[in-house]
Amino acid sequence: CCSCAPSLYLLPLSVKCGGILSASSGNISSPNFPGLYPYNIDCMWLIVVAEGSSVLLTFHHFELEFHGHCAYDYIRIYNGVSEDEGNLLGTFCGDISPPQFTSSWNVMSIIFHSDRHVAHRGFAVGYRKGDRGWRGICLFNASCCCCCWTIFIVVGLGFHESLPSGFLAPPALSFSDTCGGVLTGLSGIISSPGYPREYSNSADCSWTIHVSNSTVVSLVFLDFQLENNEGCNFDFVALFDGPTVSHRHLGNFCGGDPPPNTVTTSNQLLVVFKSDFNIGGRGFKAYYYSAFFHPMLNPGPFGWDSNTQRAVSYKPVTQNLSTQSIQIVSERLQTLLS
């Protein structure tokens, strides 16, 4: 029979807030929430649920100082203990909530850091024990042990996980989902194959984002690094204001500058990623969400309704535009009205 020795989890003495949470469900928030969080704070929460279970993490509020590389105030989420950088699921800042996460085993870590300037309301996140993440049956005979696991992944996000301590096999487990697909959720994340590792040559991926009727699609690129060339005809991301390439072409994008925040004029958006036979990059990661629109008197920065011949502007269904987005809107309005 297989057996697991008890595990000991320790928090560093340098941590000023946080703790070890072992209940089957609970809530975590930044210090002083919903007030402003303190400056120069470092917090670490270690969530440990029953052996054989997973941890489901859902953010209810998220509002940190924004930086393009999240270098000032940030949250880091780990699929396991934070001492192993191979377990890092992502680093997040600004006011776009991270997606829902499910760990691949019974431990998940959250680290929160703030610097000495600029504070916001912080975050509130709930967790609960989920179904088993790593599953397997060990079959023994006189000469060997054969272990098989079924690994559950979130389609569209990919999977990469170093084996936790107690496993003998040295290679990391990894999974890259087939690129492209149809996304119908209210919000979600798309990324290049293998992200954040270098994408493969000769990739050809298409994602059709289809949200509910009477809403539109808002797309924000969180990270972007492709081969750069004038004209963007080697490696590129192409956006179309509709479900096919016959719809309005919003542009081809490459290099290190992310595409501008994009809002469609209908409830569908096509994202195409192509790479040529050489020279790659880290790829991209983008967040989309459903939004509703209303007509405005002056031409808006986001789109034109061809049916009514009126400009339309948009606001998210479930969250406010970030400070950065509002600044972009303001700058575009000034350009259009000047």
Same domain, 199 and 288: yes
Answer yes or no: is pLDDT of 323 > 70: no
Give the domain range for residue 39: 17-130
Give the per-residue pLDDT at 153: 44
Same domain, 29 and 104: yes
Give how many domains the chain has, as a whole number: 2
Average of per-residue pLDDT across 295-307: 38
Cβ pair 49, 102 in contact under 8 A: no
Same domain, 55 and 117: yes
Give the DSSP per-residue string, 216-273: EEEEEEEEEE----TTS-SSEEEEESSSSTTSPEEEEE-TTSPPPPEE-SSSEEEEEE
Give the per-residue pLDDT at 208: 93
116 within a domain of the structure (yes/no): yes
Give the per-residue pLDDT at 84: 64
Measured distance CA(262)–CA(269) in Å, rounded: 10
pLDDT digits (tens, 9 = 90+) for 172-185: 344 434 588 888 87
DSSP class of residue 33 equals T
The token pair that represents 103 in the structure block: 């760990």
154 within a domain of the structure (yes/no): no
Q: In terms of residues, how long is the chain?
A: 338
Q: SS3 for 22?
A: coil
Same domain, 219 and 309: yes
Measured distance CA(313)–CA(298) in Å, rounded: 10
Strand pairing class (204-210; 181-183): parallel
Measured distance CA(199)–CA(195) in Å, rounded: 7
Measured distance CA(17)–CA(24) in Å, rounded: 21
CATH number at residue 83: 2.60.120.290
Cβ pair 59, 30 in contact under 8 A: no
Residue 252's beta-bridge partner residues? Answer: 238
The token pair that represents 71 in the structure block: 């270098």
What's the pLDDT band for 301 if we cut at 50, 70, 90? Answer: very low
Same domain, 188 and 315: yes
Same domain, 119 and 205: no
Give the burial string for 133-170 (b: 16+ CB within 10 Å, else e): bbeeeeeeeeeeeeeeeeeebeebbbbbbbebeeeeee
Residue 27's beta-bridge partner residues? Answer: 126
Cβ pair 149, 136 in contact under 8 A: yes
What's the pLDDT band for 292 if we cut at 50, 70, 90? Answer: low
What's the pLDDT band for 50 if we cut at 50, 70, 90? Answer: confident
**Ranked by mean pLDDT, which of 60-64, 214-218, 284-288, 294-298 comes out on top?**
60-64
Q: What pTM was estimated for this model as a whole?
A: 0.41
145 within a domain of the structure (yes/no): no
**How crowded is residue 172: how many other Cβ atoms within 10 Å of its Cβ?**
10
123 within a domain of the structure (yes/no): yes
The dihedral sign for the CA sequence 250, 251, 254, 259 = negative
Measured distance CA(96)–CA(87) in Å, rounded: 22
Same domain, 313 and 185: yes
Average of per-residue pLDDT across 208-215: 87
Cβ pair 241, 217 in contact under 8 A: no
pLDDT digits (tens, 9 = 90+) for 88-144: 888 999 999 899 888 887 889 999 999 999 999 999 999 999 876 544 333 333 344
